[in-house]
Amino acid sequence: MIDAITLLKESGAMLEGHFLLSSGRHSNRYVQCAKLLQHPDKAALALAPVAERIHEAMQAGVICVDAIVGPALGGVIVAYELGRQLGLPAFFTERDDSGAMTLRRGFEVRESMSVLIAEDVITTAKSSLETAAALERLGARIAALACIIDRRAEGAQVVLPLYAAAKIEAANWDERDCALCRQGVPAIKPGSRKTV
């Protein structure tokens, strides 16, 4: 089976340079999962091991999942593909006019519904946590997180179980500590969310 990193490289999704992340932090590496996700066959292959681990956890009673929700934009296709492979409903949250993550378009969660949040890349988990807060206000419980790439800095914790296709190491600097800024290398912002 082809691993997620190989699929990302084949898709041209692994980028090197100086990047301004949606979190406002800087990095020397960026994963543009949209380049992978434009190929449904590669998306299915990359997420199959994640779906398998989630299924095993559900079968073992470790987690319960009633639906999968992805924060727009990066989590939409990931949630859909995991939902397809697991036979579960999949939908998404998106930002309203004020910038707050919200559930729209007639999507609903029931009281005590157990939801897995799916993203393309988790660095700080900010979008996932905003989605979790929006869903919890509606009565849902968050079971776990899932992603294609876990690129959290070493020691960065999330309080929920995390199922990732791959983990990559990448610099994750505060702007004041950015080695590439000190070298005068201009930063580009490839993500879809405004920086904080």
pLDDT for position 170? 86
pLDDT for position 45? 95
On whether residue 194 sits in a domain, the answer given is: no
On whether residue 191 sits in a domain, the answer given is: no
pLDDT for position 171? 85
On whether residue 19 sits in a domain, the answer given is: yes
On whether residue 189 sits in a domain, the answer given is: no
The domain tally of the chain equals 1
pLDDT for position 91? 96
* Domain CATH for 42: 3.40.50.2020
On whether residue 193 sits in a domain, the answer given is: no
Length of the chain: 196
Q: What is the pTM of this model?
A: 0.86
* CA 14/CA 5 separation, integer angstroms: 8
On whether residue 36 sits in a domain, the answer given is: yes
On whether residue 55 sits in a domain, the answer given is: yes
- Cis status, amide bond into 145, omega within 30 of 0: no
pLDDT tops 70 at residue 195: no
pLDDT tops 60 at residue 196: no
Within 13 A of 145's CA, how many CA atoms are on the CB side?
27
pLDDT tops 90 at residue 165: yes
Would you say the C-alpha torsion 160, 149, 115, 2 has a positive or negative sign?
A: negative
What's the chain's average pLDDT? 90
Secondary structure (H, E, C), the chain: CCCHHHHHHHCCCEEEEEEECCCCCEEEEEECCHHHHCCHHHHHHHHHHHHHHHHHHHHCCCCCCCEEEEECCCHHHHHHHHHHHHCCCEEEEEECCCCCEEECCCCCCCCCCEEEEEEEEECCCHHHHHHHHHHHHCCCEEEEEEEEEECCCCCCCCCCCEEEEEECCCCCECHHHCHHHHCCCCCECCCCCCCC
Structural domain of 135: 4-182
On whether residue 187 sits in a domain, the answer given is: no
